[in-house]
Amino acid sequence: MQFNRASGVLLHLTSLPSEYGIGDLGKEAYNFIDFLKKANQKLWQILPLNPPASGGSPYNCFSAFAGNALLISVDKLIEDGLLKVEEVTNVPNFAETKVEFSRVIKFKNELFLKAFNRFDELAEGYGYTQFKEENEYWLSDFCLYMALKEQFDNRAWNRWDKDISFREKQAVERYQSKLVDKIRYQEFLQYIFSKQWSKLKNYANYNGIKIIGDLPIFVAHDSSDVWAHPELFDLGDEGNSRKVAGVPPDYFSKTGQLWGNPHYNWKRMQENNFLWWRKRFEKLLEQVDITRIDHFRGFEAYWEVDASEKTAERGKWIKAPGYELFSAVKQHLGNLPVIVEDLGFITPEVNKMKKKFGFPGMEILQFSFNKKTLLKLRPDGYEKHCVLYTGTHDNDTLLGWYRELKQSKNTRVLKILEKYYGITNGMSGEKVCWTLIEAVYKSKANFVIIPLQDILCLGNEARMNFPGTVSGNWLWRYKKGDITKEMEKNLALLTRKYER
């Protein structure tokens, strides 16, 4: 699929300002869209919208379909009459530039329960019924699974009582009856999330902004997807993963990355023409305008590691039925507005599959200075059919990267930056960032996306994720007032200058 020349900003919703400890679907999200419009931007890229497990990673979620209830706006619940202003007066003193997940969960859940007790399904009428009907494929399984998680002290599904772990019919019926209120509470959260998200997306679209979503290739073992469809995953008799996902040693890690997600039983998935995947794409493309497929190379061949291994070093590449999968999805959903993450070690076979479906790949400015990519040393060295980033959620910020170059005295890259980009030693950090942002805008790439941290010229204290590490990620938030009129004006000028 071809995309017209455009530019945008990468910012996950949790990073928005909010007095409630985490970015949400309220006023600041609408303000951010207003900023994008005034800055002549056409794209807002976010991370996955699904409910994260502990650690807050949007790539390790309890469901590949459900929405993250923590993003529900408390203020919108007040506007809708589901909460009273006086019920929200005791707001804890949350950190302004970090998400405090455990405190936020406790605080928001108490308010959500109050809102739920005031919620009237009948008053919602057709909208609520329609939501349940349209999401029937995953909704009831997910809501029961979340109620069961609470019932069994948050343990993984295969550590529950055996009858319900393995979904014996009588056990499912018994718990559906026993946990009816908790199941309805989960339905309520998903409905409210969906309603608030739809309004925000409509506002973005009305203002000429397209949302780029994110589809992680793998799902968490402890998820409603694996519990509800164990036959679609490579599991042993006790429900544990036999083989797990990751990547071999690379730029990010000397021992590779052991993600630990279960692998798919692709043979079984093919039997019903990839129904689970078709439903997953359908759901995501309802929520967003374009989707980025994470770790695209895993659809051509994936790195399989024995579940007993401690690192990802000892594994092997196994072929995946990517052609068949994308053909099936395309047949059901038509042309796919998709961007693929094709970073790292990419084989000719992966490129062939990308070209076959016309999916644009990703380029990262920070990765463009190694000896294998000499073509890209110059700002005009990128191909047209790609999405060019200064960095992503997995990189240093632009300023952090530049500081690191200077500290490590990487003269080769520093000389290239001086020769082709005009970046000299005495330049301020802000000048360096904007010079590189302009170089990206100037490129041939159809889409350019800049993380907000780079527009704000922040160092690595604002980094979102350190791949291969478990804690301390996904926390960064910007402060109200950080985005200035000058930034808005600078972006608008660049957009006009380079016809984006």
Residues tagged active-site: 294, 341, 394
CB 95 within 8 A of CB 21: yes
Contacts of 484 (CB under 8 A, 6+ apart): none
108 residue type, one letter = K
State how far the Cα of 331 lies from the Cα of 42, in Å rounded to an integer: 28
Say how far apart CA 261 and CA 245 lie, in whole Å. Answer: 5
For the chain, the maximum distance between any two Cα atoms, rounded to a whole number of angstroms, is 72
- Give the chain's end-to-end CA distance (angstroms, integer): 18
Torsion angle of C-alpha atoms 160, 163, 165, 168, degrees rounded to 10:
-160
| CA distances to 25, 204, 313, 461 from 28, in Å | 8, 13, 43, 22
The answer to whether residues 32 and 478 touch, using CB atoms and an 8 Å cutoff, is no
Going from the C-alpha of 335 to that of each of 53, 54, 358, 442, 483, the distances in angstroms are 32, 36, 10, 29, 36
Q: Count Cα neighbours of 407 within 13 Å in the Cβ-side half-sphere.
A: 6
Instruction: For residues 245 and 61, give the distance between their C-alpha atoms in angstroms, rounded to a whole number.
Output: 15
In eight-state DSSP terms, residue 10 is: E
> Could you tell me if 70 and 153 are in contact, meaning their C-beta atoms sit under 8 angstroms apart?
no
Q: Within 10 A of 310 (CB to CB), how many other CB atoms are there?
A: 9
Q: CA–CA separation, 77 vs 72, rounded Å?
A: 8
Any idea which residue has 């948050």 for tokens? 154
Here the contacts of 399-402 (C-beta below 8 Å, separation 24 or greater) are 399/429, 399/432, 399/433, 399/454, 399/457, 399/458, 399/459, 399/460, 400/459, 400/460, 400/463, 401/366, 402/429, 402/432, 402/433
Q: Tokens 């632009």, residue?
A: 398
Whether residue 141 contacts residue 167, with contact meaning beta carbons closer than 8 Å, is answered with no
C-alpha 362/C-alpha 340 separation (Å) is 7
CB 263 within 8 A of CB 302: yes
In the numeric block, which tokens belong to residue 197?
């998200």
